A and B are shown apart, each in its own frame.
Chain A
């Protein structure tokens, strides 16, 4: 093969790997927010959609002309540590009210191609008043308007609504602000990824919502399902966890899944898929971990100096690794207090009353989110096996001999 062909194949492999990871990090990739990324996914859409379909059983839609790519992720273990965040200053996670208003707004937006922020609010007031189970939306209150604006901003970022005139934030200050929106109904519908439409269920039941008929009862080891279905389920369920979660411990996998990972075929398929995504599979006797060396397919990094809690998390992890046992809340706070003493330059956020406790808790949250530690109900925390990856390296220092 000529040199040029080699180069082209290499470039394609690299780009496909990058595209897969871009979609993993942002299941809705729009041209307006990230043009380069969307362009790459658009160019390599066929291998990328095939990869997701084969390895994860996830559908990826790439709409070159509409300017978005959407990966419909499905899991049987929805995570609560990766919430939607507000797009305004604080970046705090959405609360229940914001989620509720987001859904009400989406339902109302579906009925009209063009609307204004005030008309939409009116319709939402009527819609919530007609539903006895929903607290009535009250745009005269500032906190309600703030929640409303946050949910609209999120839809705006998704590209489901496009402000043609005016800015959404202006609604915060006065409820008669004029903002004109164009609504993209197809994208709105694409936002829903649950395999079972929620309106078909009588009550909020996550397992029922996430039931995927294509696998049958393959998850149940005693159920009689075809070999194909079982294999499909094994491949998809294992790959989904590996490619999406920071750490997968053996203890969390079923015997069937472990068997698949141990079998030559299963192993080969999984390793190949992960390499194609540009990642590295780290396999240890206690679990599996996928490393993305370029940190593309991740919402946050650890270890990292991105924030004070992150730095604290690493140092706290050192202490947890040393102890190797449950560390009570008081001790965690002590470590945090030491850190606050050591890093004098750290801002005011943790300097007030109870700052050390809050810092300790934020750090523990990060560790838990990365599968490196677990916390009991009483707040005591201990490290999990993968934490040893970040243990302090013991450097051999030669004893200075006599000269």
Chain B
């Protein structure tokens, strides 16, 4: 329906439609081509329009269904040209009317500003009261009932649209970042005053209206509507019955009235919401005002410092500049240093330049593989006291075992190996070790080999047997067989004891 506003010649199309609209208001329903041309000027179109252009415009409007064409045979024509120009008459279709109205409405919404009018509330209460008294009067008052009802509905509509607009403007105002501080403050102050005025007597007015609604309803809404319809004297233009639709409309409007002031289902009346919104807006506006005057006062508190900084950050031209500002204001940057140093820095003279001085050692791995050797964290230092104690303990034990072994092995004099017979495993090991030591020693003239343990405490003399006898020694782990040497094992300490004993 509004396609004419979106094409490239939207301005001309709209102007043409306006021309029709204007004519309609003067009750001229049909316009000829020349009429349209002439009227364009009266609706504010001053550019020259060629016949072709206007023709195209009219045919487009026709195409969209905004304009109808009828032929006028009744006029008096003198020339063929005259006939061609005046024969066709254009008139607005219902669709065209709606489109024109729509555009006008859109423009009026853009131009208008909402308001909360106490006068409207008063008017609603008055009309309701009037209806109440008229209902009591005779049939003659039907017309009055009709007009009063229409007025009531008109006021209700006004209340609704005004409130809607006002609320959206209010929200815009709360959000707005107005460039001009002074007017902004002015506007907010004025708005607060306005809202306070409105809220002050709202309760009382609401109460009056509620009472009035109740009074009217007591007399019967249906009856009211029937009498209003009688007063309306509806024409019957189409085949449909207009009365049913009319009554439906009235019922809907009445329900709207109730939802505003006296909802049926017990929900909060919308007028209460209105009050809430107004109260909240007052608080918010006052807070914004307080904040603005706060800013004006320029207190040198920390909060003001932060606010100033915020403004500076917002105004800074680049990121590096912002970083600098932050570091300057907050002093929060970390230090930055090299961590590689020469092992002995004193070897290099301070008079040398960096280029002359040797470079610091860098892990060669970093250049070749992009990694540095990771040195694992140093382990915890163990408590060595315990280890020492354990070691001492073990050493003592080993010593004791050794002593026991030597004692076991010590022979009273030269004996055959076979005489030893049975041994425990540890002593057997010592014995083998001793024999091994003796065997690698040189044989003296008497054919005796001598050897000592490394600590010099045990001495062995060993003589090979003259016979080929074998000795068999048993240990818990197995049996040893070997040549039956003649051995004499003495502990040096034990020898003296043995000699003494001898």
Contacts and interface: CB of A to CB of B under 8 A. Distances in A.
B179 to A, nearest CB: 6
A115 B288 CA distance: 19
A255 interface: no
Most A CB contacts (10 A, CB to CB) among B334, B367, B371 go to B334
Contact of A284 (B310, B312, B350): B350
Interface residues of B, number: 74
Interface string A175-215: 00000000000001101111001111100101001100000
B308 interface: yes
Contacts of A130: 288, 291-292, 295
B334 A25 contact: yes
Given A290-B337, A291-B339, A305-B372, A80 B308 contact: no
A78 B324 contact: yes
B359 A393 contact: yes
B337 to A, nearest CB: 4
A381 interface: no
Contacts of B332: 27-28, 73, 84, 191, 193
Contacts, number: 278
A209 B353 contact: no
A218 interface: no
A192 B305 contact: yes
Contacts of A101: 310
A197 B305 contact: yes
B316 A96 contact: yes
Contacts of B360: 389-390
B221 interface: no
B304 A289 contact: no
Interface string B292-306: 100100111111111
B337 A246 contact: yes
Interface stretch (B70-78, B170-178, B430-438): B170-178
Contacts of A283: 350
A311 B366 contact: yes
A388 interface: yes
Interface string A114-147: 0000000000001111111111100000000000
A99 B326 contact: yes
A12 B334 CA distance: 24
B316 A204 contact: yes
A192 B330 contact: yes
Interface string A338-355: 000001001000000000
B331 A297 contact: no
Interface in B321-343: 321-342
A336 interface: no
A72 interface: yes
Contacts of B310: 100-101, 103-104, 107, 131, 134
B9 interface: no
Given A95-B319, A191-B330, A129 B366 contact: no
A291 B308 contact: no
Contact of B300 (A74, A200, A297): A200
A355 to B, nearest CB: 16
A358 interface: no
Contacts of A386: 354
A264 interface: no
B341 A282 contact: yes
Given A194-B331, A291-B337, A285 B353 contact: yes
B355 interface: yes
A244 B306 CA distance: 26
Given A246-B336, A301-B339, A388-B357, A206 B325 contact: yes
Contact of A393 (B303, B351, B361): B361
Q: Which 9 A-B pairs have the closest CB atoms?
A: A193-B331, A73-B331, A103-B310, A107-B306, A299-B334, A80-B320, A295-B339, A283-B350, A204-B312
22 contacts: A27-B334, A75-B327, A79-B324, A80-B321, A82-B336, A96-B319, A107-B302, A107-B310, A129-B288, A130-B295, A193-B330, A197-B305, A204-B312, A280-B341, A284-B350, A291-B337, A292-B337, A294-B339, A302-B338, A311-B366, A393-B358, A393-B359
Given A132-B179, A290-B338, A299-B333, 12 more contacts: A73-B331, A73-B332, A79-B333, A94-B323, A96-B316, A101-B310, A133-B311, A192-B329, A194-B329, A282-B341, A291-B339, A390-B360
Interface of B: 174-179, 181, 284, 287-288, 291-292, 295, 298-316, 319-342, 345, 350-355, 357-362, 366-367, 370-372
